[in-house]
Structures are given as structure tokens and as C-alpha cells.
A and B are shown apart, each in its own frame.
Chain A
Amino acid sequence: MTLRALIVDDEALARQRIRQLLEKVADVEVVGECANGVEAVQAIEDLEPDLVFLDIQMPELDGFGVIEAVGADRMPATLFVTAYDQHALRAFEVHALDYLLKPFDAARFHLALARARRWCARETQGQAEPRPDLAALMAGLRQERPWLDRLLVKQGDRHILVKASAIQWIEAEDNYVRLHVEGTSYLVRQTMAGLLERLDPKTFRRIHRSAIVNLDCIREFQAWTSGDQLVIMRDGTRLTLSRTYRDQVGEWL
């Protein structure tokens, strides 16, 4: 079986190094190369590779951001590549993940590749090995970096990187949430509770069953009927602060 591999690294020479090493490997085909995280998310969804060589330090969206955006459960087999990141290495050790430290030699590379092959092997071939638990890794990292500072949202077939601080408010829409960002909005497949958990409570608060606001974007509060309050945003949008959530909001009012 041929493995279809994707190489993700912001440095051309680093990508070249992996390509060189894979050239001599018969059963691995390089299906794409990405120079940043956003490209990587797109490529993983479009090309559906079996294996990703994922650099951790990249500007904008880093390797962990890629996993976050794609979803740990939808990630292909992943070999992490890093030059120096004690923080990440500690997490890898804890979750017994395989990783490649730059610079690596051919022997070390092939050892990691052999392991990745076993992750991709079918159960019937008898050599299969369960994949490392990326979800647990991400959960572990989340304890140290609990809040999202960027979200990758899909707009048609494009991916757009949205800064959390640029989100003005978030609206619930059935099984989706709508992010209102500077005159436009993006629909994201997420639950209100799930998203709220990942947003910094210093900036984002739930004010209604169907609304989360960025506190920095509120202009004023007005009294409304039966204990509810009217929240007027900087751009004029009117939202309701319901009685249920008033106590939570009250802490900082």
C-alpha cells in the first residue's frame, strides 16, 4: 500500500529535506507541500493524505492550530517535526507521541516513518499499531493554553483566519454558530457551549441563550422589560441580556 504524504513547514529547505528523504522510499508518495498552517488545513481536507509531516512553529497558525482547525479525530497520521520547543516536547513525552527533532538523520527519519506506517496499516495485516491519541494531546495542551486567539473558519472552499479579538458577537444558529466580524459574518459548525469554553472569559461572555458578546465591543446597556436589559453594540446592533445570564455578567458590570 502506498502512503500519501503531506509536508508542512514554513521553511523551503526543511520541506526539501523531507522530500529528499522520501524520494528513496518506494511506498510513500508526496502529494503536497504547505508553507503555512492555513494552507495545511486546506490541503488536509482537499487531498486527504494518509500521513502529515507537521512542523510545529509556523507564523500565524502553528502545527497545533492546524490540528485544532481540522479536528483531532479527523487528522491523518501525524509526525511532528520541531527544532526546539520544550513546551511541545514535554507534551509529546506525556502522551507518548513520536516526533522528529531538527536536524534529523536518515536513520532517525526512517524509524519514525516505520512507526507511521504501522499506524496506517490495516488491522488485517497484523502490523497495525493504534495511533497516538491526538485528542488527549490537545486536551493536555489546552490546560496550558486554554484560550483560542485565532479561529480558522471555512467560507465556501476557502479558509479564513479570524482573530478572536476581532469577533464582535456570536449568534447561535441551530447546530452552528455565526461569528460576527467587522461587517461580515461566518458560520462555524460548533456549539455555543463548546465555543464559549475556548474563548477568554475576560473578553467573551454569554448574555443570552443564543448570544455571546465581546465585552470590548459593547457601547451601552439600557433597561428593558421584565428584568431583561438591552445591550447596544458599537456598530448599533441591539442584543438582549436575559435575566438568566445577568448574574454572570453582573460580576464585571
Chain B
Amino acid sequence: MSDASGGGSRRRWVWYWGLWGLLGLYMTTWDYTKYPVPALIPRLLLLNLLQTGVWGVLGLFLVWLADRRPLESFARREWRTWALHLAASVFATVLGLFLAYVILILIDLDGAKGPLDLAKVARGLPSFYRAYFHVVLLFMWALVAAFHSLRIYRKYKAREVESARLEARFAEAQNLALRMQLQPHFLFNTLHSISALIHSDPSAADSMIGCLGDFLRMTLEAPPDQMVPLRKELAFIESYLAIERIRFQDRLTIRLEVLPDLLAVKVPSFILQPLVENALQHGLSDRPRGDLTLRARRDSDLLLLEVQDNGEGFVAGREGVGLSNVRARLGLLYKGRHRIDILGMPGRGTLVTLRLPMDPAAEASA
């Protein structure tokens, strides 16, 4: 009951009094078994609703107390709190039953008219307590128990939400770190290539600077949510390859095979670049000519992204930073619902295939 915000607070009051009202109706049916006279029903109803109303007010006192001194555990050192709630519920029951009896006299079911007679109250009270004390005490305990279950549930819920949020933030930060890890190396090497080209081939240096500008712009514009349409990822790769093409000086042939209806599918941003970088570095760098093929296909609800080179062929157990980085990022984003296959054909090249789920859940969790 601590966060009494507008709508939530009204709904809680409706629930609280609604349940007491239902209890009043229930007690009315009980009384009807004792006084099975249809004409008495309105009076029985009024009597019981008033009685449960009084108990409801006393119940608020118990809830207030439970909110201030909640039971945290069954530990022995908590005995004072348990004793306090036991005493409070007994007190509320005693007082509640007294008031209920007074109401009973005032409603006057037997039709014996007359002013409130204290002697009559004192005479009937003991048998009234004998009849109802244990039941009403149970109601009060149920109320305190209900309050505590609600409190524990809320706490658990809040903790769950918090841990989910922490986890998401952690994954995001880690993802960002992994993404950034790959950029500086490429950036400085490109600047270095430009400084070499300035002297030997100024126009190539010129266009490399232009390409680097495009590349950096796309890096800076990368959305914080980390998922981008495949179209955007491919544009990014194109700007990256434009730089590499100059660096490899016409030794590089690049093929792009992408189904047009896949261009809108969301993929983790910058996921292809490390794979392409690997293909160029391990696959093509020592050869006079190199072919690089990028493919996007679909296999039922999986998106298949393939990077293929015709270099020396991947040797198992020789995984570089780039690939382990991709592995780590996909693990964070898809939690095992993805697959990475690396097929090395000695002397004929390497084929890396990413299988990524395309369902909305994957995009939502990213």
C-alpha cells in the first residue's frame, strides 16, 4: 500500500471493500440458515454488511500495522513482530465482535422494541463471542496473510524487473564494447594507407579519404538499439569494402547475392564487417587475386548470412579476435538461438555461415 498512485489506489480500495462486501453476503446466507424467513432478508443483509464494514475498518488498522512492521521471515528473532500481529488481530476481533453485537441489538431482528439496554448487551455478549470469535479471528489472520503475500509478490516482481533491466543494460554495454573493439585498428591502418598513397597515388588517396568519411559517418549513425535492417548493414559493408578495394588495388572481386525481400530483415549492426575483414586478411591478403562473396538467404524462419572467400581455407582452432567477437555478440543477442558454421576447404577458401532467427521475439530482445 506504500505507492498510493491515483488509479492504482482507487482499484485497491474497490478490491478491499468489495471483498468485505462479499464476506457480508456470505455471512448473510449463513444467518438465513438460522432465520429462514424471506421477509427478514433485507434486514439480515443490512446487519451483515454493517458488521463486515466495521471489521473492514478494523482490518485497515491491521494492514497499517503490517505495512509499518512487516513480517520478513520465520526466524526466531522475529518473534516480537509475530506477537504484535497476534495481539493486534485478537484486539481487532474482540472490538469488532463487540461493535457487531451492538449493531445486532440496534437492528433488532426479534422486533423487541426498546432503547439500547446495556444489561441485555452484557447478557448476550458471551454466547455471541463463543459463536463468532474463532471465525472472525481467522478472517483477520487471512487479511494479514493476504497483505504479506501481496507484499512479497510485489517485491519479487520488482526484483525480477530490475534484474532483467540490469541484464539488458549489461548486454548492451558489452555489445557496444565488442563493436568498438574492432574499429580503431581498421581506422588507424586506413589512415596509414592513405599516408602512403598521398605520395604514390594522390587520386587513390583522395578517394580513400572519401570512403573513410562515408564509413565513419555510418559508424556514428549506428542506432543505439543495435539492430539494423540488412539493407543498412550491407551499405556499411560496401563502404568498408570500398576502402579495402583501394588497399588491395584491383586484386579483389566482390560479389553480392542478396534476395531483395530480405533487405528489411533486422540484423545486429556491424556483424558482417569482422567476417569480411577475416576473409580479406586470412583468405586473400597473400594472393594475387581474391574473390569475396556475400550472400543473404532464407531457410524457413532463419536468415542465412554467408561470407565466402577463395583463400587458403580456415584451419580449426585458429579463431581470431574478429570471429570470437561475433560469437560473443550473437550469444548475447540471441542466447543460443543462432548458429555459426565455419567451413574451411584447404587451398580453396572458407565459408562462414550465420544462421539468425527472424522471429519478432529476437528483434524484441535485442
Contact = CB atoms under 8 A, between A and B. Distances in A.
Contacts of B188: 83-84, 101-103
Contacts of A59: 281-282, 285, 320
Interface string A10-37: 1111101100100000000000000110
Majority secondary structure of chain B interface residues (helix, strand, loop or mixed): helix
Contacts of B320: 59
B189 A16 contact: no
A163 B316 CA distance: 11
A47 B196 CA distance: 26
Given A11-B247, A103-B188, A16 B200 contact: yes
Contact of A16 (B191, B196, B281, B315): B196
A242 interface: no
Interface string B250-274: 0000000000000000000000000
A20 B200 contact: yes
Nearest to B208: A13
Q: Ordered nearest first, which 5 A-B pairs have the shortest CB separation?
A: A17-B196, A102-B192, A83-B188, A13-B193, A103-B192
Contacts of B285: 10-11, 35, 59
A165 interface: yes
Nearest to A20: B199
B362 interface: no
A83 B282 contact: no
Contacts of B193: 11, 13-14, 17
A103 B190 CA distance: 8
Contact of B194 (A36, A84, A103, A104): A103
Interface string A98-119: 0001111100000000000000
B197 to A, nearest CB: 7
A12 B250 CA distance: 13
A24 to B, nearest CB: 11
B247 A13 contact: yes
Given A35-B285, A35-B286, A57 B185 contact: yes
A36 B285 CA distance: 10
B195 interface: yes
B248 to A, nearest CB: 8
A12 B320 CA distance: 21
Interface string B333-349: 00000000000000000
A102 B189 contact: yes
Contacts of A84: 184-185, 187-188
A14 B248 CA distance: 12
B318 A163 contact: yes
B191 A103 contact: yes
6 contacts: A11-B192, A14-B193, A20-B199, A20-B200, A102-B191, A103-B192
Nearest to A35: B286
B317 interface: yes
A83 B286 contact: no
B54 to A, nearest CB: 74
A14 B286 contact: no
A83 B192 contact: yes
Interface in B131-170: none
Interface string B178-215: 00000011011101111111011000000000000000
Contacts of A102: 188-189, 191-192
Nearest to B281: A59
Contacts of B195: 17, 103-105
Given A17-B195, A35-B286, A11 B200 contact: no
Nearest to A57: B185
B196 to A, nearest CB: 4
Contacts of A10: 281, 285
Nearest to B199: A20
B260 to A, nearest CB: 35
A103 B193 CA distance: 8
B318 A83 contact: no
A14 B196 contact: yes
A221 B286 CA distance: 45
Interface string B294-329: 000000000000000000000101101000000000
Among A13, A14, A20, A163, the one with the most B-chain Cβ atoms within 10 Å of its Cβ is A13
A200 to B, nearest CB: 13
